[in-house]
Structure 1
Amino acid sequence: MTSVVVVGSINLDVVVSCERFPRPGDTVPGSAVSYGQGGKGANQARAAARAGASATFIGAVGDDDAADRVMSALSNDVHVRASRAPGQTGVALVTVDTHGENTIVVVPGANSLLTLSDEDRRVISASDVLLVQLEVPVPVVLDAARAAQQAGTTVMLNPSPVIDLPADLWPLIDVAVVNRAEAHALRSPLDGVGTVVTTVGADGAELRGPDGLVRADGIAVAVADTTGAGDAFAGMLAASWHLPPAERLARANAAGALATTISGAASAPTAADVDAFLRTTHR
């Protein structure tokens, strides 16, 4: 079993369904509202766990009621190491239209106060894969990546949202997981990364690594909500990193597609779901 540590954000998601997105100054009626655990880091940790990995999440929550709610939801699947910071737990306001597209406003809250302890670094060093994103302070990402590299742990970066990163972070990255827009924005830094995995929406995904280029075709599904699809992809990819490149990419691609068929950010499928889905699509 692959052990995956995810250092990243955890939020309370407030998701509103509506027919179309409001324009500036506009008001539109919503059809439903739901509350749940989100945050790219927490979503990716759950995705890795559901994919069959031994998953640990390292993050920060506030001292409010939302903290217990989001940690309780995540701890069903993941070992949670969440420090408490004074103030508000992170919140994401998500709107989803009838086509399954979304807009998101994130209030970072405690995520912006995350730091790593010596025990956090020890846990990272003992793992097979470290998965990080950019919804927590960059110095924390750098700290985690250094601890992982020193221990020989594979460092996987999902550079989302795209921001300027220190030059000394990129040499620590073994794998970058990006979408088409991120790949375009980060073209030069990605040239120095050993393995780059790029999702291309309905066209599937591709992996450029030491052994060349591998592609996975897009899979047609009935899209309900694209929120969390990228996180499902990244979590499955991390959990499958011990497999050959074509297989790890196929499983991640299937997980991302399946996640779009379920509403909500925490929509990652299980390993069994992906197995069954791949058997169907490969007939």
Structure 2
Amino acid sequence: MSNRLPVAVVGSINLDLIATAERLPTAGETIGGAVLSEQPGGKGANQAAAAARLGGNVRMIGAVGSDGQGQRMLAALAGAGVDTTDVGVLPEPTGTALIVVDGDGENQIVVCPGANSGLSLDRVEFGPEETVLCQLEVGLPVVLEAARRSKGYFVLNAAPAMDLPAELLERCDLVIVNESEYALIPALAEAKLVAVTYGGDGSAMFVHGTKVAGAPSAAVTVANTVGAGDAFCAALVLGLRSGLDYERALAVANAVGADAVGDPSSQPELAQLGHYVGRTAAALDGTR
């Protein structure tokens, strides 16, 4: 675990505007008494920050606007230990996510992509030892181009769910989705390796549609679920690339996700990956 695994995250960088309310509104309903906060966010940036805090050697490939929000997002990534050299600064406004979170930590999200829509890989190269991690909050053509250019291990967090080209799925060494996304993308049943999260019911690994491993979730007080899936993705990638087997990697990622759920931030503070490996080892060995 001592080597810092190289990871390139290609994805979105957003300012999260979060309204925390007692419950989520229904259509046409206004709810008062909410508390507003602003945080660094975006699935790409969240995953990059998590991977860096877990101990990866991480660079972010994305785009922000030439505005104050963009500078804040860059500073937040750098503060987490992420290399931002390959983040473009564009004339468009920085991407923004409008998020409502209820008392149980559940959320509704609307994303305004802004500068994320202008992301280009024109001068980006990927090394053969570099793991490339993408999501779908940037344009599908950009994700396809990243998959074609990647020389090593390629991971897709297929969120938000959409139909995926066969070429992209065939290139993926690993796809990560939640239970809803897995149901919405039938083609994943044929993918070579898919990790699925089930919230409080843990996570599982599937090879060509057959479940080959699973791990339970940890009980935790929920503060915010916005960044939990992103932290899970980062931990699972680093765990697998560090040589953990499927069951242990899932257990470690579940533990990281649990810590993220208990933190109100979309880019929570996390311990090094080795801490979570040690924390889960005794529990796993006790079940064998």
Name the TM-score, length of structure 2 as normaliser.
0.89
Give the whole-Å Cα distance in 2 for the aligned partners of 1:65 and 1:155.
33
Q: Tell me, in whole angstroms, the C-alpha distance in 1 between the residues paired with 2:283 and 2:77.
A: 30
| Aligned residue in 1 for 2:130 | 128
Partners in 2 of 1:135 and 1:96 — Cα distance?
20
Distance 1:276 1:225, change over 3 A: farther
Residue in 2 that maps onto 1:116: 121
When the two chains are superposed, the root-mean-square deviation of aligned CA atoms in Å is: 2.0
User: Following superposition of structure 1 onto structure 2, how do residues 64-213 of structure 1 map, counting pairs within 5 Å?
Assistant: 64-76=67-79, 77-80=81-84, 81-118=86-123, 120=124, 122=125, 124-148=126-150, 151=151, 153-187=152-186, 189-209=187-207, 213=212
Letter in 1 for 2:104: H
* Structure 2 CA distance for partners of 1:278 and 1:230, relative to 1, 3 Å: same
Give the 3-state SS of the residue equivalent to 1:249 in structure 2.
Answer: helix
Alignment counterpart, residue 25 of structure 1, candidates 25, 28, 31: 28
The Cα of 1:126 is off from its aligned counterpart by: 4.2
| Letter aligned with residue 160 of structure 1 | A
Counterpart code for 1:71: L
Distance in 1 between residues matched to 2:102 and 2:211, nearest whole Å: 38
Look up the equivalent residue of 1:59 and give its one-letter code: G
The aligned counterpart of 1:260 is 261
Aligned residue type for 2:82: V
The aligned counterpart of 1:219 is 218
For 2:71 and 2:36, the matched residues in 1 are separated by: 20
SS at match of 1:168: helix
Amino acid at match of 1:51: L
Classify 1:37/1:126 alpha carbon distance in 2 versus 1 (closer, same or farther; 3 Å): farther
One-letter amino acid matched to 1:47:
A
2-side partners of 1:56 and 1:202: how far apart? 31
Deviation sequence 1:166-224 (CA, Å, 0-9, x none) = 2321211110101111111112x223322111111111001124896111012111111
The one-character-per-residue Cα deviations of 1:31-84 (angstroms, maximum 9, x if unpaired) are 422111100000011111111111111001112211001110111121112112
2:14 matches 1:15:
no
Instruction: Tell me which residue corresponds to 1:248.
Output: 249
Question: Which of residues 45, 58, 61 is equivalent to 1:58?
Answer: 61
Q: Tell me the distance in 2 between the aligned counterparts of 1:154 and 1:64.
A: 34
TM-score by length of 1: 0.91
For structure 1, the residue ranges without an aligned partner over 5 or more in a row are: none
CA distance in 2, matches of 1:31, 1:280: 42
- Aligned partner letter, 2:190: G
Gaps of 5+ in 2: none
Q: Please list the CA deviations of residues 89-132 of structure 1 after superposition, one character each: whole Å capped at 9, or x if unmatched.
A: 000111111111111111000101111023x2x2x234431110
User: Aligned equivalents of 2:239 and 2:275: distance in 1?
Assistant: 14
CA contact (8 A) 1:14 1:93 kept: yes
Residues 277 and 221 (structure 1), Cα distance of their counterparts in 2 relative to 1, 3 Å cut: farther
Cα distance in 1 between the residues matched to 2:91 and 2:162 = 26
Taking a change above 3 Å as real, the CA distance of residues 163 and 16 of structure 1, as seen in their structure-2 partners, is same
Structure 1 residue identity aligned to 2:91: P
Deviations 1:204-252 (A, max 9, x none): 0011248961110121111111111110000111122222222211111
In structure 2, what is the Cα distance between the partners aligned to 1:224 and 1:280?
27
Instruction: Give 3-state SS (helix, strand or coil) of 1:140's partner.
Output: helix
Deviation of 1:277 after TM superposition, in Å, equals 4.7
Query: 2:138 is paired with a residue of what secondary structure?
Result: coil
